Amino acid sequence: MSTEALFQQLKHPNPHLRDEAMWQLVEQRDETTIPRLMDILDEADTNYRRAAVKALGAIGMDAVPPLVEALLHSENVTVRGSAAKALAQVALNYPEQPFPETGIAGLQTALSDPNPVVHIAAVMALGEIGTPEVVEVLIQALRTSDNPALGVSIVNALASIGDSRGVEVLQDLIQNETTDSYVRETATSALSRLEMTNRFQRGER
């Protein structure tokens, strides 16, 4: 199938056909593939945009520099949000590969993006990477941000990573009188989930 036909198939309403086109594009990619996929990140067609996000994630580490560039410098909020989601897809597809420092630094900067779509997508991407370094980034953001929505998404990310430092931070949040009530509530349920996971991993019931 020609590259042109594959790009057209990324718009297909059938998700299986979109996925098929995505993997074929990844297999036969050339130097134009990443720039063309990047151009789709501001498409109004949600299916097309999501397919490009997944394809960039499937390409992997080579897609990280242009994604970070778009995440930090695009004027378009849809592009910034899609770039963060694509970085999450890279981490999801290549968990055994160390995630590039530039990617982590870019996502850390995006945590202070004024748009909730972007900063929440950045938290999700960092949660997907989940390395000890990322836990530090999330903890620092949680301590310095006064945005409850960001706080809630960071709490959930820390719970899903399951690092013991995350547990301590959640306990501090719950005990702190000044914590936003919504954040505290989320931290309380996240902590019980974490403790359950840790018990399960230790083989306790």
Q: What is the pLDDT of residue 136?
A: 95
| CB 145 within 8 Å of CB 153 | no
Q: What is the pLDDT of residue 66?
A: 98
Q: What is the pLDDT of residue 146?
A: 87
We find that the CATH architecture of domain 130-205 is: Alpha Horseshoe (1.25)
- Chain centroid, CA 16 distance in Å: 23
In the chain, ranges of CATH 1.25.40 domains: 1-118
Q: What is the pLDDT of residue 1?
A: 85
- Chain centroid, CA 36 distance in Å: 21
The overall longest dimension of the chain from CA atoms, in Å, is 61
Q: What's this model's pTM, rounded to 2 decimal places?
A: 0.91
Spans of the chain, pLDDT less than 50: none
Q: What is the pLDDT of residue 54?
A: 96
Other C-beta atoms within 10 Å of 82: how many?
28
Sign of the four-CA dihedral 78, 79, 80, 82 = positive
Q: Which segments of 33-147 does DSSP mark as H helices, in order? A: 33-39, 46-59, 64-73, 77-93, 101-110, 116-129, 132-144
CATH among 1.25.40, 1.10.238, 3.40.720, 1.10.10 for 1-118:
1.25.40
In the chain, ranges of CATH 1.25.10.10 domains: 130-205
Q: What is the pLDDT of residue 52?
A: 96
